[in-house]
């Protein structure tokens, strides 16, 4: 049996975004068959990475790795650039400066690490715009 720390950290963004009633659909790593159709409705696709850094703050005086860094790459997808920006603003208002609560951990505020220029995707025979924002936070235990 393993602990559930990695999953608890990954799920922080999903809990915060689920509380935002302006987001119709949030997906974890893959766009499933939602209702409504994601090709015509704005949505957020999130890739989560949970890491235990070895250097710097990640290592305690006893040489144990105690810091967890969680990074979310959020693809804010809409039928137009404006729709993608609107979804991006909802994601930002849900995540930025929030302080996660995880039992037994001291968590930093969530910060935005980067954003990537929107790209046009026509692979589904419908144009969608994908605007990417990257957020992260750290916790120590």
Answer for the pair 43, 57: CB distance below 8 angstroms, yes or no.
no
pLDDT bracket for residue 52 (50, 70, 90):
confident
114-140 tens-digit pLDDT: 999 899 988 777 788 999 999 999 998
Domain ranges of the chain: 5-140
User: Maximum CA pair distance of the chain?
Assistant: 56
Which CATH fold topology does 5-140 show? STM4215-like (3.30.2000)
pLDDT surpassing 90 at residue 60 = no
pLDDT at 104: 92
pLDDT surpassing 70 at residue 33 = no
pLDDT surpassing 70 at residue 87 = yes
Give this prediction's pTM. 0.88
């Amino acid at each position: 049996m393993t602990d559930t720390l990695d999953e608890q950290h990954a799920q922080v963004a999903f809990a915060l975004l689920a509380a935002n009633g302006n987001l119709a659909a949030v997906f974890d790593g893959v766009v499933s068959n939602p209702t409504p159709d994601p090709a015509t409705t704005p949505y957020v696709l999130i890739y989560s990475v949970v890491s235990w850094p070895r250097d710097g703050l990640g290592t305690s005086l006893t040489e144990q790795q105690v810091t967890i860094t969680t990074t979310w790459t959020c693809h804010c997808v809409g039928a137009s650039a404006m729709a993608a920006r609107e979804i991006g603003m909802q994601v930002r208002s849900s995540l930025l400066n929030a302080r996660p609560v995880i039992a037994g951990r001291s968590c930093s505020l969530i910060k935005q690490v980067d954003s990537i220029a929107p790209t046009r995707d026509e692979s589904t025979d419908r144009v969608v715009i994908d605007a990417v924002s990257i957020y992260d936070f750290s916790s120590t235990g």
